[in-house]
Amino acid sequence: MLATESEITSVRAMPFEVPSGQRFLVLAFERGTELGSTHALGQVKDVPEDAKRMISELQRELGFVRENLQATIEQLETANEELQATNEELLASNEELQSTNEELQSVNEELGAVNAEFQMKITELTELTTDLEYLFRASPVGTLFLDEKLYIRRFSPELTRLFNVIDRDVGRPIQHLSQNFEDRAFVIDAARVLATGEPIERQLEGTREGQFMMRLVPYRTPQRHIRGVVADFVDVTLQRKAEAGVLHAQRILDSLEVEVAVLDKDSRITMVNQAWRRFWEENGGAANLDAAIGQRYLDVCEPPLRQGVEDVLARRIPSFSFEYPCDSTLQSRWFMLYAAPVAGGEGAVVSHMDVTKAKASDGRPPSREVPQ
């Protein structure tokens, strides 16, 4: 034994060779090894100086390595603590991300619901647009939409009767289009409606054919702001012809001396001539005969007259005539009622003729009783 030993934990033997070729064995006593009062190396005999220097160098290197190892261990411990802190932060971030992910899923579900609602709205809007297009195509009214600059926004096919307009003209000023009616103040009227917000309505004569009723109204938003003008053109040619026909028929009836009234199928008075009006006024009728227009004629007839007129209205008989007394305050008078159905239509024409002179010339004593 090189030294007195007690409680040696471990001993390491390391061979080495010096430059001179000699070989040595180095014994390393680890911690926990207790030596006697004298150091082990101090009692090693015959150890060359080179070996001693080598051992000292190795001891210094070993101490340096131990210091580096200790520093590395401390750095690793610090890095481990940092990693643990980073891991805790990552765990917290992961929890936040999970919470955010749940919120995103909730938002995604809400977006899905909103998207479905938008899809439904888009479908409704598409259907509404399609309905509007079909309404435009089916409507007999020519409609024109203008914006705030009086540029064309939309128009119905019927409008082509009054304006030379095609689909590519959408977005063009209305002033650039030629018109098929006599009045050239349309643009001025549209600008006035846009400025004042007051509608304009009047009749136009077409250059080719027909008569049209024009109505210009402001295009208002739900907030009541004016954002353009809407123009409607209604063909009133047939209506005007019918009115002209009624006026012509009225003039014909007014030229007759007998009192004439036109009844509908329900016996309501729809038209009377001037002679009827005079008779009405001269015999104490209301000051305004027009108030009687629309009243039932049968409501004021005696039973035999009522039955005859009802049979004519029902087409049970081709005509009906009846003489009846109608005295005034000054004289006794006789009238003849004659009723016939309207040819080719419904209703009847009733006339009243004063036959007092004709009965007197016959020499027949007038009877004052109305036959039952």
Q: DSSP per residue over 299-311, as a string?
A: GGS-HHHHHHHHH
Give the pLDDT confidence score for residue 25 in this predicted structure.
67
Stated as kind and residue range, the H or E segment containing 244 is helix 237-254
* Distance from C-alpha of 209 to C-alpha of 366, rounded to nearest angstrom: 60
Give the pLDDT confidence score for residue 320 in this predicted structure.
92
Give the pLDDT confidence score for residue 3 in this predicted structure.
45
273 burial (CB, 10 Å; 0-12 / 13-18 / 19+) is: buried
Q: Is 66 helix (H, G, I), strand (E, B) or coil?
A: helix
The architecture of the domain spanning 139-235 is: 2-Layer Sandwich (3.30)
Query: Does 3.40.50.280 match the CATH number of domain 257-362?
Result: no
Give the pLDDT confidence score for residue 35 in this predicted structure.
44
CATH 3.30.450.20 domain range(s) in the chain: 139-235, 257-362
DSSP code at position 160: G
- Residue 343 CB contacts under 8 Å (≥ 6 apart), including other chains: none
Give the pLDDT confidence score for residue 4 in this predicted structure.
45
Give the pLDDT confidence score for residue 162 in this predicted structure.
84
Give the pLDDT confidence score for residue 370 in this predicted structure.
41
Q: Is 269 helix (H, G, I), strand (E, B) or coil?
A: strand
* Distance from C-alpha of 4 to C-alpha of 354, rounded to nearest angstrom: 173
Give the pLDDT confidence score for residue 10 in this predicted structure.
63
pTM of the model: 0.50
At 254, list the tokens.
Answer: 């007014």
* Distance from C-alpha of 1 to C-alpha of 269, rounded to nearest angstrom: 155
CB 158 within 8 A of CB 143: yes
* Distance from C-alpha of 74 to C-alpha of 83, rounded to nearest angstrom: 14
Give the pLDDT confidence score for residue 281 in this predicted structure.
75
Give the pLDDT confidence score for residue 18 in this predicted structure.
56
Instruction: Match 């027009």 to its residue by tokens.
Output: 290
Counting as low any pLDDT under 50, the low residues of the chain are 1-6, 8, 33-42, 365-372
